[in-house]
Structure 1
């Protein structure tokens, strides 16, 4: 099972950088989302493949035509937050406010309930498990926020589960679609999206996709835009992560879509026998809640 997903945000929605962190700074950067989305739409339609688009509420408010076009073309839409914050930096109250606004903006744009979510930067960590309760409270049934390995934005290495599973927490239940990995020499190799996809050679990516029964992708429009400006304030390592492999990424994606069969999140959900799925209950896991 190969699931194709995109996180719909602008090219400057880069984490770990003060000059792009908050909405008050975003007006200074040029808009590139329309041309990047048009390119992705053409690729998907040429290959007759569907995908899930996790969208920022901010995009729905500023560019509602983008969200409406995604829906018009028959693609599944989920929330990617409103203002692209790291979950573990928020209090539960601030997280709930951001989620509520994102859902309102997206649902106004497409005229239907949004029930899927992915956290920016996969930033639901061991100290932000409370966010799962808030997601369920607001009608989220499908989550794709779990990164079952350590990473710069957190990750959840305690969840050593690179397959879809039922996540339970304090009485709620979510269908969880985590990022997958390839285990080798005691390490977890991530390869199916973002900078990992851009930096790895395609023959290796193809081999890794072929070796597993479940692959969850996560791409951004900026991953395929070699002409985007370089933000000067980025650290050297952040520049590398954000701009490495941009020139060849679109061709890689084209090859990937042609070499493998992909479905969106809802189609994958229909194909899973959830009665036989692994159940992970985190109710007794101790965590520290960020104060208001």
Structure 2
């Protein structure tokens, strides 16, 4: 099972960076989302994917979501204002989630069923997020990054395959990021900076050898001409900009060679009565 997903945000929605942290700063940057979305649509053709969209994008650029929906893709929420979930309390998280759901549903006229946290920022310390998600009608989460990372990361989760999350007797379906064993180490390769860093033959090999793949791409991943975001140190610049030039061609080759589905198709193919249950 190989799943294709995109997190729909602008090129300047960089986390952990004071110069791009809030909506007030965003107003000073040019928009590049339309051109980058055109590249994605051109690559996909009839291939279906799940698009995790910001509520902010739904309000500012409703035509972007309408085009995604017109092409038959699944639309989910990526939060409203692209803030790290572990920096929010229950009240602010709930407000952000509710606003994102309403903004998206107002544009496409369809129920939002799935969620992905910015930066995969669901961790042991804020697992209460799952309760808030379920109480607001979210049935599927795709926020678990079962390894250490600079922000977010839930190494204690223990599973890198579709499963149930059970918290206080409430259950929801989880589609975590996958891990791949290579040279004796567990690697993440299926999206973002990892995908841009690794050469295509290695990406192809790990995709081929993985029973489960959860990709995650952003419009900015395919935009080598984007400006430099202010306020980034050397490491963040490398992480955010390395490999942009070749990323689109790598994705093109990958989706043409391997069979990918969206989350709703993957969900329907799983026997959930036999799926593992992770108790939090």
Fold-level match, TM-score > 0.5? yes
Question: Match of 2:157, SS?
Answer: coil
Give the C-alpha shift of residue 213 in structure 1: 0.5
Give the C-alpha shift of residue 112 in structure 1: 1.3
Equivalents in 2 of 1:182, 1:264: separation in Å? 20
Q: Give CA deviations for 1:34-62 in whole Å, capped at 9, x if unaligned.
A: 111111111111xx210000000000010
Give the C-alpha shift of residue 186 in structure 1: 5.8
The residue that corresponds to 2:279 in the other structure is 281
Equivalents in 2 of 1:173, 1:33: separation in Å? 35
The residue that corresponds to 1:43 in the other structure is 43
Gaps of 5+ in 2: none
Gaps of 5+ in 1: 283-292
> In structure 1, which of residues 204, 211, 214 is the aligned counterpart of residue 209 of structure 2?
211
The residue that corresponds to 2:102 in the other structure is 104
Residues 134-143 or 184-193, more deviating: 184-193
Give the C-alpha shift of residue 183 in structure 1: 2.8
TM-score, scaled relative to structure 2: 0.98
The residue that corresponds to 1:11 in the other structure is 11
Equivalents in 2 of 1:185, 1:222: separation in Å? 30
CA 1:88–1:267: 2 relative to 1, 3 Å: same
> In structure 2, which of residues 64, 67, 81 is the aligned counterpart of residue 66 of structure 1?
64
Give the C-alpha shift of residue 171 in structure 1: 2.1
The residue that corresponds to 2:85 in the other structure is 87
Question: Match of 2:171, SS?
Answer: strand
The residue that corresponds to 1:114 in the other structure is 112
Equivalents in 1 of 2:127, 2:203: separation in Å? 31
Q: Give CA deviations for 1:96-124 in whole Å, capped at 9, x if unaligned.
A: 00000000000000011101000000000
Give the C-alpha shift of residue 232 in structure 1: 3.0
Equivalents in 2 of 1:256, 1:17: separation in Å? 32
**Count of paired positions:** 280
The residue that corresponds to 1:176 in the other structure is 174
Equivalents in 1 of 2:229, 2:38: separation in Å? 23
Equivalents in 2 of 1:239, 1:8: separation in Å? 20
Question: Match of 2:160, SS?
Answer: coil
Q: Give CA deviations for 1:159-195 in whole Å, capped at 9, x if unaligned.
A: 1211100111112111100000113466321000000
Give the C-alpha shift of residue 259 in structure 1: 1.1
Asked if the contact 2:76/2:112 (under 8 Å) is kept, the reply is: yes
Question: Match of 2:131, SS?
Answer: helix
The residue that corresponds to 1:25 in the other structure is 25
- Root mean square deviation of aligned Cα: 0.9
Residues 154-169 of structure 1: pairs in structure 2 closer than 5 A: 154-169=152-167
Residues 96-245 of structure 1: pairs in structure 2 closer than 5 A: 96-184=94-182, 187-245=185-243
Equivalents in 2 of 1:94, 1:238: separation in Å? 27
Asked if the contact 2:77/2:114 (under 8 Å) is kept, the reply is: yes
Equivalents in 2 of 1:59, 1:232: separation in Å? 21
Equivalents in 2 of 1:153, 1:214: separation in Å? 24
TM-score, scaled relative to structure 1: 0.94
Give the C-alpha shift of residue 140 in structure 1: 0.4
